Structure 1
Amino acid sequence: MNDRPSGAAGTSRAGRGDRPVRTGADLTAAMSVRYALVPAPRLSLHTVARRSGLHPDLVRRFVALGLVDAERDAAGQLVFDPTAPAVLARIQRLRSGLCLNYASIGLVLDLLDRISLLEAALRGRGTRSETPPWT
C-alpha cells in the first residue's frame, strides 16, 4: 500500500510520480510570463522624435505629462522603449482625429490599455468577443 495522499484538492496526478497536472489557470499564468533573451535597444530622444515626426520638445512634454514612458540613462538623457514611436503616433491620432486635449488623451490611453487587457483575458479563457478591438 502507498501511504502518500492520493492528491490535493484542485490538482490531479497523471502517472508522473508526485508531479501535479497543471490546471488551465496555471497554464494561463505560465504563458503570460515573458523573458527577454536579449535586452531591447533603447532609443534616444532624437531618434524617437525623428521616427515619430515630432519636435523633441513636444516629446519631452509628453514625457512630462506621463503620456509616454521614458527613463534616464547614465548621462541623464532620456531613453525610450522601441515602442515609443508607436505610442506617440497613437497620441497624435487621438489629438488630431478626436480633437482631445492632452489630459483627455491620457485618460483615453488608460482606457484603451484596460480594454486590451480585458480582451486578452477573454481570449485566454477561450471566450470570444464579438466586437472588434477599438484601435
Structure 2
Amino acid sequence: MNDRPAGAAGIRRAGVGDRPVRTGTDITSSTAVRYALVPAPRLSLDAVARRSGLHPDLIRRFVALGLVDAERDGAGRLVFDPTAPAVLARIQRLRSGLCLNYASIGLVLDLLDRISLLEAALRGRGPRSETPPWT
C-alpha cells in the first residue's frame, strides 16, 4: 500500500487514489504543497451550459477545438472541471471584445496562462531589488 516508509522525505502514499500526502513535521521548504483529499465534483455538459449561458453544441465545439478541457465519464458523457464556466466566459469575452477567431483564442489563452505562471514565479522570488540583475 505505501511506496515509502512513513516520513521518508516528508511524503507518504495514501491508500485512496495513491496521491502523495505531505506530513506536517518533515516539510523543509518554505512553500507547502497541498493535495486535495476529495476530488472536486465534476460538472455535466448541461450544468456547464446552464452556468455559462451557452448552447451545449457550442461547448462541444469548444471541446473539439481544445479550448476547454473535458473528460468522458463511464457512460461516455462529457464532464468538466468546476472552472469550466469561467473558462467559457473568458473565451466569450475574447471573442466579442477582440473579434478573434477560435484558433486565435486558443493562442491567446495559452499566452495568458503562461503569463500567469511567470508572474507567479516572479512573486515567489520575493521583493525586487533596486539594481537590475545584469549590473
TM-score by length of 1: 0.72
Whichever residue aligns with residue 77 of structure 1, its letter is: R
Per-residue deviation, residues 99-128 of structure 1 (Å, max 9, x unmatched): 000000000000000000000001111146
* RMSD of Structure 2 on Structure 1 (CA): 1.7
- The whole-number CA distance in structure 2 between the counterparts of 1:46 and 1:98 is 28
Moved over 2 A (4+): none
Unaligned runs of 5+ in 2: 1-26, 129-135
- The whole-number CA distance in structure 2 between the counterparts of 1:34 and 1:97 is 36
1:41 corresponding residue in structure 2: 41
2:3 corresponding residue in structure 1: none
- The whole-number CA distance in structure 2 between the counterparts of 1:92 and 1:34 is 32
1:72 corresponding residue in structure 2: 72
Unaligned runs of 5+ in 1: 1-20, 129-135
**Aligned length in residues:** 103
Structure ranking higher in strand proportion: 2
Identical positions, percent: 89
1:117 corresponding residue in structure 2: 117
- The whole-number CA distance in structure 2 between the counterparts of 1:78 and 1:34 is 27
**Pairing of 1:56-71 with structure 2 (within 5 A):** 56-71=56-71
1:100 corresponding residue in structure 2: 100
Which has more radius of gyration?
1
TM-superposed CA distance for 1:39, in Å, is 1.1
Structure ranking higher in helix proportion: 1
Q: In the alignment, is residue 126 of structure 1 matched against residue 126 of structure 2?
A: yes
2:53 corresponding residue in structure 1: 53
Whichever residue aligns with residue 78 of structure 1, its letter is: L
- The whole-number CA distance in structure 2 between the counterparts of 1:60 and 1:27 is 42
